[in-house]
Amino acid sequence: MRRSSLLILGLALLGACSTDPTTAGTLNAQAARVAAIKAPASENQDLATLHAATATFHRYDPVAKHAGYTFLFMNMCMVDQSTAKEGGMGYHYVNPELLDGKVEVDKPEALLYEPGSNGQLNLVAVEYVIPKDQWHADTLPRLFGQQLKLNAFDLYALHVWAWENNPSGLYASWNPRVNCDNAPPPVTPPGA
């Protein structure tokens, strides 16, 4: 950690001392990138574990479906309907067998898919979930160094945008780059 901090400081100072503004800007940008990339080792390890565990789920059918992600939460493609219009989440396919009182990096409870123009579902994120009534510890659940947040469905949840860059942040709820434009219109049940 100390070596990384010294490296970043050294690059910034070197860039500031340069008489060539292009060189100074380039070195400062490099220092900023190094600082942004330098996350805690455990978080980077967890992200690598998540990527390895979900790499085969890029298409929903047949692999994710056969792995138990069969429950379509809310039976809809989700986008932020508030006035803020923060983006989308897509479809949430949940593995009901994983809904218990724990979260494991390599076993996300839900896979989030954005519908593509070709009708394919594309993996964009995962969501870790613990039902409120199954969490009995004194402290709130944590994963990736993040605290899971209680949502309107009485679920402790954490989104991880592992497969689609999210300008709002890796752990933000909504992603402005995800939408449901290619989702078929919801089917209204007869008599509803």
Confidence band of 26 (pLDDT split at 50, 70, 90): very low
Nearest to 171 by CA among 113, 110, 125: 125
- What predicted TM-score, i.e. pTM, was given to this entire model? 0.76
Instruction: Encode pLDDT of 158-168 as tens digits.
Output: 999 999 999 99
Listed range (60-69, 71-80, 96-105, 181-190) with the worst mean pLDDT: 181-190
d(CA 133, CA 90): 26
List the beta strands (DSSP E) in 116-154.
121-131, 142-143, 146-147, 149-150
**Helical axes 21-37 vs 2-17, angle rounded to 10°:** 160
Beta bridge partners of 71: 94
Domain boundary assignment for the chain = 2-37, 41-160
Q: Is the separation of the CB atoms in 126 and 105 below 8 Å?
A: no
Long-range contacts from 147-151, C-beta under 8 angstroms, 24+ separation: 148/103
d(CA 69, CA 6): 46
Query: Given this model, what pLDDT does residue 59 score?
Result: 87
Compute φ and ψ for 23, nearest 5 degrees.
-65, -45
Query: Given this model, what pLDDT does residue 189 score?
Result: 64
